[in-house]
Structure 1
Amino acid sequence: MTGPMTTDDLRKAFSEQLMGLRESVIQPLFDAADGMRADLRARGWSEAVIDPVVAAWLAATLAKIAGGGK
């Protein structure tokens, strides 16, 4: 039987969970944003318009995730 987790154990576990979240949730969103940027560029959209559109979508999507979709 193991004893209670130390602060270092908790930090390590928390860090590992964050990395898992980054790989499974956040990275695919950035990949989708990159794909959206490439698609808009291929459709002839102006670079001056593409970045704000993609940034707004990404920010809104991350906010939904952080807020539980509220």
Structure 2
Amino acid sequence: MREQPIGEAVENDEREEVIAYHRGDTRAAIDTLLEDIRHLRRQLTLAEGAMSRGMTRGWRPSYDRD
């Protein structure tokens, strides 16, 4: 899959690439994406615990989309 800038809309061809990678199994594609979300949330939790409040000037990460 190609990387895209943050904020750029997801295009249909990217969805098709994800499904093709999983040989047409949409449930497997969704499972992989959900596992990725869980992994990234754990990484965000670890990063939050490691950084000082002064480093981020009081900013706290959000675990859900606004």
Q: TM-score, normalised by structure 1?
A: 0.37
Structure with bigger helix share is 1
Which of the pair has more CA radius of gyration?
Answer: 1
